[in-house]
Amino acid sequence: MEALPLDGVVVADFSRVLAGPYATMLLADLGATVIKVERPGAGDDTRSWGPPWTESSSSYFESVNRGKRSVRLDLSQDEDRAAARELVRRADVLVENFKVGSLAQYGLDFESAHELNPRLIYTSISGFGSQEGAELPGYDFVVQALGGLMSITGEPERPPVKVGVAVVDVLTGKDAALGIMAALRHREMTGRGQHVEVNLMSSLLGSLANQMSSLLTTGVAPQRMGNRHPSIAPYETLRCEDAFLAVAVGNDAQFRKLSEALGLVSMADDPKFATNAQRVAHREEMVSRLENVLGARPAADWQQRLQGVGIACGQVNDLSGAVHYAESLGLRPMVDPGGGAAMQVRMPIGFSGHGSAEVTAPPLLGEHDKEVLAWLEDPEQQLPPISSRRDPQ
C-alpha cells in the first residue's frame, strides 16, 4: 500500500471527551501514529458515558477513538511526567483541551513544549478562547445556546432546541484537524512549529454561513423557521401519506418540474408561485396545495418519482434508514474495526492516490502502556504496528 498522507507523523493526544479526540481520530484515519494519554483508573471521561455499552467500553468513547494507542500517565507523578515530556519531545503534533493554562504546572504548556521541541505543532482546544473566556467551561450544549445556534433551530412557536448531535464539538474537531494540517505544511516550509488555537464559540460562529451573513447585512437576527429556508421555497419538509418528505427546489425551472410531476401544472404559471420571491411570500398557500397532493401516496413513492425528474428530495429517515440509504448508493458508510468493537462510520474523505488507513479498534485503557513506555525509554526502539487485539497490557 502507498504511504498515507500522515504516515510518520506522531500525535501526542492529551485531549478527552469529543472535540479533541475527534480531531485526533481524523489524523489517525489519515495515517498518523496517535498516542492517547489517559489518567490511570478512569481514563477519558467518555469511557463511562453509557449506555449504550460495547463489549469493553461505551459506544460514545469508541465513536471517536479508533486507531489510537492508549498509555496511562499520572502527570502529578515525576516518572510519568517525565515520560509525557519525552513524548512531547518526539511528537510532531500535540492536542490538548485542558483548562486554559493548567498544563503549565506539569511543564506541558506551549512555551515549555516549544522549548523541548521547536518543531512541535501544539494545538489547544477550548470553549471560549484564552482571553476573557478562559475560565468558562466549554460544553457543546451551552455553546449552542450562547452562540445563537439554538435561536435558529426548532419551530417558531415552540422553545429553542439544540441540534440532535454535539455538532459544535464536531465542527471544532474538524477545525482543529484543518489547523494542524496547515501548520504541518507551514513547518515544511519554515522548519518551525507553532501554537494552533481553536475554540467552540468561534467554530460555531464561523459555521453559521448565510444566517450570520443575514444578520450582518440587515442588522436583524434570523429566527427559528423549523425546516423551512428563509430565502427559498419550497425548501422544507412536506407531509405525505405516511411520513415527511424533504423537498429542495432551488429555482423556478425546478418548481415547474415539481408542479408537473404532482399534476399541478397551473401552479407554475400562477403569479403567486411563478418566482421564488412570490413563493416565499405565499408559502402557506403553496404548502397547502402541495401537501394536498402528496398526502395521497407514501413518501417513498414520491421520492422515487420526484428524483426521477431531477427534484432534490428525500424521505426523513432515522439513523438506521440513513445508513441503509447510503449503502444503496454504494457509499460503504460503515467499517468494522475488529477486536469485538462496534462498527464505525468510515472516514468520509477519499483519495485517488492511496487507500485508507487500516481501521483498528479503539484501545482499552492502558492497552499500549508497555510498548509506548519502552519506546519512550529507548530512542532506538520502534513502535510495533497497531493491531485490533484489544488485549490490556
Instruction: Place 340 in a pLDDT band, splitting at 50, 70 and 90.
Output: confident
72 and 163 together in one domain: yes
Please give the DSSP secondary-structure letter assigned to residue 202: H
224 in any annotated domain:
no
pLDDT, position 259: 97
pLDDT band per the 50, 70, 90 thresholds, residue 355: low
Residue range 2-8: mean pLDDT, rounded:
89
Check residue 388 and give its pLDDT.
57
Average pLDDT over residues 22-42: 96
The percentage of residues in the chain with a pLDDT greater than 70, rounded to a whole number, is: 97
How confident is the model over 166-220, as pLDDT tens digits? 999 999 999 999 999 999 999 999 999 999 999 999 999 999 999 999 999 999 9
Same domain, 288 and 354: no
Q: Is the pLDDT of residue 41 over 60?
A: yes
Q: What's the chain's average pLDDT?
A: 94
Same-domain pairing of 114 and 261: no
Model pTM above 0.85: yes
- At 93 the pLDDT is 98
C-alpha cell at 188: 515544511
Does residue 216 lie within any of the structural domains?
Answer: no
Whether residue 367 is contained in a domain is answered as yes
Are 280 and 309 members of one domain?
yes
Calculate mean pLDDT across residues 319-334: 95
Whether pLDDT at 91 is above 90: yes
**Going along 79-161, which residue ranges are E strands?**
93-96, 121-126
Longest alpha-carbon distance in the chain: 79
Mean pLDDT on 67-82: 97
- How many Å apart are CA 254 and CA 375, to the nearest integer? 61
pLDDT at 28: 96
Q: Domains in the chain: how many in total? A: 2
Give the residue-averaged pLDDT of 88-94. Answer: 97
Residue 384 is assigned to a structural domain of this protein: no
Q: Please tell me the predicted confidence (pLDDT) of residue 350.
A: 87
Are residues 352 and 296 part of one domain? no
CA pair distance 356, 350, nearest whole angstrom: 8
Residue 341 has a pLDDT of 83
68 and 195 both lie in a single domain: yes
Residues 284 and 140 in one domain: no
- Is 201 in the same domain as 55? yes
The residues that are catalytic are 169
Using one digit for the tens of pLDDT, what is the confidence trace for 142-163?
999 999 999 999 999 999 999 9
Give residue-wise pLDDT tens across range 215-273. Answer: 999 999 999 999 999 889 999 999 999 999 999 999 999 999 999 999 999 999 999 99
Structural domain contains residue 46: yes
258 plus 198 within the same structural domain:
no
Question: Is the model's pLDDT at 386 over the cut of 80?
Answer: yes
Name the DSSP class of 234: S
Apex CA 216: angle with CA 226 and CA 236, to 5°? 20
Same-domain check for residues 308 and 363: no
Q: State whether 61 and 131 are in the same domain.
A: yes
Residue 221 forms part of a structural domain: no
Domain stop point among 284, 315, 346: 315
**Does residue 259 lie within any of the structural domains?**
yes
Same domain, 76 and 152: yes
CATH number, domain with residue 204? 3.40.50.10540
Tell me if 297 is assigned to some domain. Answer: yes
Domain that holds residue 283: 244-315
Confidence of residue 393 (pLDDT cuts 50, 70, 90): very low
Spatial contact of 354 and 3, defined as CB atoms under 8 Å apart: yes
CATH number at residue 273: 3.30.1540.10
Q: CA-CA distance, 197 to 9, in Å (whole number)?
A: 19
Model pLDDT, residue 85: 97
Average pLDDT over residues 27-32: 95
The tens digit of pLDDT for each residue in 112-128 reads 999 999 999 999 999 99
Task: Say yes or no to pLDDT of 392 above 50.
Answer: no
Nearest to 364 by CA among 17, 65, 33, 73: 65
d(CA 263, CA 255) in angstroms, rounded, equals: 12
